[in-house]
Structure 1
Amino acid sequence: MDLYKPLVALLAMVNPIGILPFFIAFTQEFDRTQRKQTIRVAAFTSFMVIALSALLGLKLIEFFGISIASFQVGGGTLLLITALQMLNAKPPEGGQVETEGAGANIAVVPLAIPLLTGPATISTMVIYAQKSKLWWEQAVLVGYGVVVALVVVLVFSAAGKIARVLGTTGINIMTRLMGLILAALAVELLQSGLIDLFPILGAKGVR
């Protein structure tokens, strides 16, 4: 397994810079202490989603009797949809988010789930966990969850400064760039899953 690919995919999907406008809007009435608490909870929740998906995701799909190849195709399709949304400068994962009923704890819903981490993130971690043959490779996947959480903390902590420097245009450009990277990774996952399901697609000389 190429160990750098899961991290690239995670950073592209989570893309906290693309979520900055939402974070700023949701926390504009918060004081400094509340904002820091929101950042910590959102980052920790994102880590938990990534770590649990890497460690337990395979057991769940085995329980439901789903093949890895089918999951790769489904996960790759979700990634591609997410990438297309990002290429249109829409936030990844979330789409239209209903904040009513979420209460004061917006750190978990909607910030961490589904804006930062959602179905595409879970699918990606399950797929890469299946490719992990050694225990330390799974440990690396969990470690990537820590990296993502730290990036979320750093970006959200500097939300005001980053928003002023990048502006709406800069954030849109960053979201589109991450979407392009994610689309390439999605195509790789789709290709791998489809070849496993239909081996003839990978046969040389097939027209």
Structure 2
Amino acid sequence: MAEIRITLPAGFASNANILALGGELKSSICRIANGQGIISEVIGDLEQEVVYRHFTTQVDAAFSDSTPDLLVIDKHPDYLSSQHGLDLARQHDIPVTSVQHHYAHIAAVMADNGLPRCTKPVLGIALDGLGFGDDGTIWGGEILLADYHGFERLACFQPVAMIGGGAATHEPWRNTLAHLLPVWDQVEKQFSDTGIIQFLNKKPVSLLQMMVDKGVNAPLSS
């Protein structure tokens, strides 16, 4: 898939050369210069070694064109893209800034709809996976009042345990079980003949409940 070029909304034309390194899943990078955004192909899941190598190759190619004035990384400190960005910032002695994951999604939608830089705040609902929150917790389902200069977190979904940590991102049944655990005995009896309960009963429910109770590899996420 070829790169995509977009013209940024009014107010973003400048000579600044910015390189954004994106998240970790369905990763892509974006260079911003002269009022345009140049978005790479979807690179993929950076936890896969071959994909990560392709990611670093793409970033190296962006640097070979011109060294950016600013690097932008995801706020999550454990993302491989964020760690790579910090390494590059040190190597090339250039500034780096981090952006909260869900806020970045809302800002991207604003830009995609042509809202100018001076636009009034919008109400954004972001339900995209997990992101490192400004309060140090994991955010998931967020309602933000946002413009291009910042945001206010108005509300979020009730936080539940991500059983198995990152594994919950790839195995949605873990999230389903986390929601059901507080009423598991009742649900198991009442809906024992349903496919989802029969499926979950094949999992080590008691062990997973213990993980949640003790907070072992089961961080809370909205």
More strand by share: 2
* More RCO (CA 8 Å, sep 6+): 1
Give the shorter-chain TM-score range: under 0.3
The normalised TM-score by structure 2 is: 0.24
Q: Report the TM-score, using the length of structure 1 for normalisation.
A: 0.25
